[in-house]
């Protein structure tokens, strides 16, 4: 009996290992397996729908060693490609997956061009095999990522993008959807983030396949930035590094504590790296669309024509509104269309209100938006609705007016501002936020008492007309860089602030003795009322002490003149005015001015002097700012000083304490946040600590609280009821147990016992 020690023909993994080490020595064994592959493939072609285990093993074996015998296996990749192209619909699922894996191995070894393989894989996305489609999608994304890892391969990218453009229009819904998903994923990974990719995906919004259209619309809507940062909050639950290190020193040493310390240190290093990384700003895909006007018009027309689901219509309206607001487009049919749905009972009405606000911009003619605002006010801001509905209506008005202020007229604004004293806090705060907006944009539309005390910032405001642009030739506030004393008046605590937003303490010479508490809404209203009364009397708090002293001197002088005149008049017996004879014999009567006329003249002179002084100061500031802007290159420190000066201007005239400064254009942005419209102010629930503090604060300066001892003689004994309150629980537990409500089962037992007892008694 002859023993065969050569097991290589049957053991392909061992042969594969040996060939990779020494290809020349095992070429004969390889050629034997290659001939075996040829014959097995011919047999498989006769029945492609059945699984062939031998062919499966041989294909993977040849793909693994193809780089060792590239001359012999030069046609091997093309054979597999041809089989998949011609017979992919009838192939067995396992064999089809094997051929795809073999082609990926050949591609990784550089024996196959990426364009040929990826084109084939895109065609295979039409197959009915879900596992294969997911496998191919993962490979396509990974392969394109690897191709563009070192530098962008423009040639391959252009070829594949053109191929994908045709695939998006494919009649097969699965293939088109998968192609859209691949392009979207590549854009999110910053591999294909160019304008061509975005415009190819934009064509998917007009696809007849609903899934492709929805995927493309979702891509343009993007994801909420708050969701991306949700992972960062997980690290907050981890223990502090110092605490863990201290626990490891003090407590008993154990492997568990060592592992915990190691893990915490790793997390600490990771968080440090994350903080030190520069922020990445990714532009929205809507910026990269070539023809936004045409794109928005086609989308809106398609939505009106198609009978899609309500959710799909909402997404389309969202994209159209973002396009209008972002690119300042003109789509006048969009506003009457949304106007029909502005009802409190409408489904997803807050989102529709968000779309109206998003589609508003400075270049929309006020006549187009006025009917929408009136419908909004009539349907929402009425007392027959709930407070939340009214607040949402006022918030939407504010958001629209922040983007298109000219849409609001004086009568409507004054009606809306009447809700500032409404009984519900949410409506009151919404109305006050509207007042606050117009204080910073167009204060002339507000009633005099709602305008607030004028500041340097509000004095520079002027009402703009439709289409007028307020272009600055200099950096506003740059004149502060010429003032050396600025560093003494402004303190910027940049060392202690970890974030970019810094605390700015604005100090005035007149506020040294006063507190710097924040002013509440009620205080602001009281100040406004005081201002109005002051204006009616002709004297305002904003005048300087010097001006007041000058006025008092003038008044004293005027009173003296008046007194002299009165005495002269009293000395004349007839009571007639003084007559001065003139050469011609005529008589000139000097008319006496009343006190009211003199006051009017005086106030008019003051007003003209103030205007002249203000104009002179403004011109001087502009000249200085223009000089700085032209002659100097401004750095970060300079801009910090300028920002501080601009904030100071907003609060300069407030003498009762520093008010909360308004942020620059807080409501103006590319997109409208839904939270701004749904922002309803309500009394928040306190946590336990704040409740305890408020309770203790309320108890201060009060009589002793709690149970009052009503005994006339404190030395006499107490009742049993009073004693029971101080007894230990174990002493009264048996009595407390009786008061517990009986369960249903106990009641059943008691009833049964009662009935049995009654039966026995009979």
Domain definitions of the chain by residue range:
12-224, 291-453
* 503 phi/psi in degrees, rounded to 5: -80, 125
Report the alpha-carbon distance of residue 139 to residue 81 in Å, rounded.
16
Instruction: Find, among 365, 369, 430, 363, the residue nearest to 396 by Cα.
Output: 430
What average pLDDT score do residues 387-404 get?
Answer: 93
Domains 12-224 and 291-453 share a fold: yes
What average pLDDT score do residues 297-325 get?
Answer: 92
Predicted confidence (pLDDT) at residue 2 exceeds the cutoff of 70: no
CATH number of this structure's domain 12-224:
1.25.10
Beta bridge partners of 587: 581
Asked if residues 447 and 413 have their Cβ atoms less than 8 Å apart, the reply is no
Q: What is the fold, at CATH topology level, of the domain defined by 291-453?
A: 1.25.10
Neighbour tally for 120: CB within 10 Å: 19
Q: 316 falls in which pLDDT band (50, 70, 90)?
A: very high
pLDDT recorded at residue 332: 93
What average pLDDT score do residues 119-127 get?
Answer: 85
- pLDDT averaged over the chain? 76
Instruction: Find, among 204, 208, 348, 351, the residue nearest to 285 by Cα.
Output: 204
Q: 294 falls in which pLDDT band (50, 70, 90)?
A: very high
pLDDT recorded at residue 615: 61
* 676 phi/psi in degrees, rounded to 5: -70, -35
Report the alpha-carbon distance of residue 88 to residue 144 in Å, rounded.
23
pLDDT recorded at residue 432: 93
- For residue 325, the number of C-alpha atoms closer than 13 Å in the C-beta half-sphere is 24
Q: How much is the pTM?
A: 0.61
Report the alpha-carbon distance of residue 105 to residue 111 in Å, rounded.
9
Buried b (16+ CB within 10 A) or exposed e, 718-746: eeeeeeeeeeeeeeeeeeeeeeeeeeeee
Q: Which residues contact 645 (CB under 8 A, 6 or more apart)?
A: 477, 480, 486, 490
């Amino acid at each position: 009996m002859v023993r065969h020690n050569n097991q290589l023909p049957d053991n392909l993994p061992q042969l594969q290992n040996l060939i990779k080490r020494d290809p020349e020595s095992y070429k004969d064994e390889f050629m034997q397996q290659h001939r075996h592959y040829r014959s097995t493939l011919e047999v498989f072609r006769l029945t492609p729908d059945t699984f062939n285990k031998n062919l499966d093993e041989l294909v993977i074996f040849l793909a693994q060693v193809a780089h060792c015998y590239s001359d012999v296996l030069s046609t091997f990749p093309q054979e597999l490609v041809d089989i998949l192209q011609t017979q992919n619909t009838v192939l067995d699922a396992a064999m089809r997956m094997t051929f795809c894996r073999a082609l990926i191995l050949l591609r990784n070894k550089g024996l196959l061009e990426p364009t040929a393989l990826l084109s084939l894989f895109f065609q295979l996305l039409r197959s009915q095999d879900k596992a294969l489609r997911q496998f191919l999608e993962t490979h396509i994304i990974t392969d394109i990522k690897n191709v563009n890892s070192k530098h962008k391969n423009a040639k391959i990218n252009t070829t594949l993008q053109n191929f994908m453009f045709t695939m998006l229009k494919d009649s097969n819904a699965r293939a088109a959807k998968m192609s859209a998903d691949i392009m979207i994923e590549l854009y999110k990974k910053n591999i294909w983030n160019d304008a061509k990719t975005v415009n190819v995906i934009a064509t998917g919004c007009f696809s007849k396949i609903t899934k492709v259209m929805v995927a493309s619309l979702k891509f343009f809507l993007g994801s909420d930035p708050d969701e991306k940062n949700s992972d960062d909050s997980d690290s907050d639950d981890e223990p502090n590094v110092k605490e863990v290190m201290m626990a490891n020193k003090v407590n008993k040493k154990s492997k568990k504590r060592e592992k915990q310390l190691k893990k915490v240190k790793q997390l600490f290093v990771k968080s440090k790296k994350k903080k030190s990384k520069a922020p990445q700003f990714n532009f929205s895909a809507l910026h990269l669309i070539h023809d936004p006007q045409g794109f928005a018009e086609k989308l809106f027309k398609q939505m009106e024509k198609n009978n899609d689901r309500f959710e799909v219509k909402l997404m389309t309206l969202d994209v159209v509104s973002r396009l209008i607001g972002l690119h300042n487009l003109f789509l006048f049919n969009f506003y009457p269309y949304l106007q029909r749905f502005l009802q409190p009972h409408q489904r997803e009405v807050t989102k529709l209100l968000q779309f109206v606000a998003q589609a508003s911009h400075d270049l929309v003619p006020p006549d187009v938006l006025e009917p929408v605002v009136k419908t909004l006010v009539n349907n929402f801001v009425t007392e027959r609705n709930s407070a939340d509905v009214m607040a949402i209506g006022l918030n939407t008005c504010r958001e629209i007016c922040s983007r298109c202020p000219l849409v609001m007229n004086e009568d409507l604004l004054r009606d809306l501002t009447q809700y500032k004293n409404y009984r519900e806090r949410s409506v009151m705060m919404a109305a006050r936020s509207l007042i606050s907006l117009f204080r910073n944009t167009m204060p002339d539309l507000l009633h005099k008492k709602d305008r607030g005390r004028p500041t340097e910032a509000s004095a520079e405001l002027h009402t703009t007309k439709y289409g007028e642009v307020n272009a600055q030739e200099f950096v506003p506030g740059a004149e502060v860089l010429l003032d050396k004393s600025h560093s003494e008046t402004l303190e910027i605590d940049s060392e202690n602030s970890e974030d970019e937003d810094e605390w700015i303490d604005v100090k005035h010479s007149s506020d040294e003795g006063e507190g710097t508490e924040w002013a509440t809404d009620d205080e602001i209203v009281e100040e406004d009322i005081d201002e109005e009364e002051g204006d009616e009397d002709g004297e305002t708090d904003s005048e300087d002490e010097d001006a007041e002293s000058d006025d008092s001197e003038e008044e004293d002088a005027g009173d003296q003149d008046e007194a002299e005149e009165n005495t002269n008049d009293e000395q004349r017996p007839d009571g007639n005015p003084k007559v001065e004879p003139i050469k011609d014999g005529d008589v000139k009567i000097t008319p006496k001015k009343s006190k009211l006329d003199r006051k009017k003249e005086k106030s008019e002179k003051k007003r003209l002097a103030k205007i002249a002084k203000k104009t002179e100061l403004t011109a001087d500031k502009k000249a200085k700012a223009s000089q700085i802007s032209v002659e100097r290159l401004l750095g970060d420190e300079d801009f910090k000083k300028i920002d501080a000066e601009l904030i100071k201007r907003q609060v300069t005239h407030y003498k009762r304490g520093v008010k909360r400064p308004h942020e620059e254009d807080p409501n103006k942005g590319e997109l409208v946040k839904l939270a701004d419209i749904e922002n309803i102010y309500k009394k928040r629930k306190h946590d336990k600590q704040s409740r305890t503090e408020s309770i203790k604060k309320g108890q201060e300066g009060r009589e002793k609280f709690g149970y009052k001892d009503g005994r006339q003689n404190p030395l006499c004994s107490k009742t049993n009821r009073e004693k029971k309150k101080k007894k230990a629980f174990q002493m009264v537990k048996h009595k407390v147990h009786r008061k517990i409500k009986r369960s249903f089962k106990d009641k059943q037992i008691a009833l049964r016992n009662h009935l049995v007892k009654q039966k026995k008694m009979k």
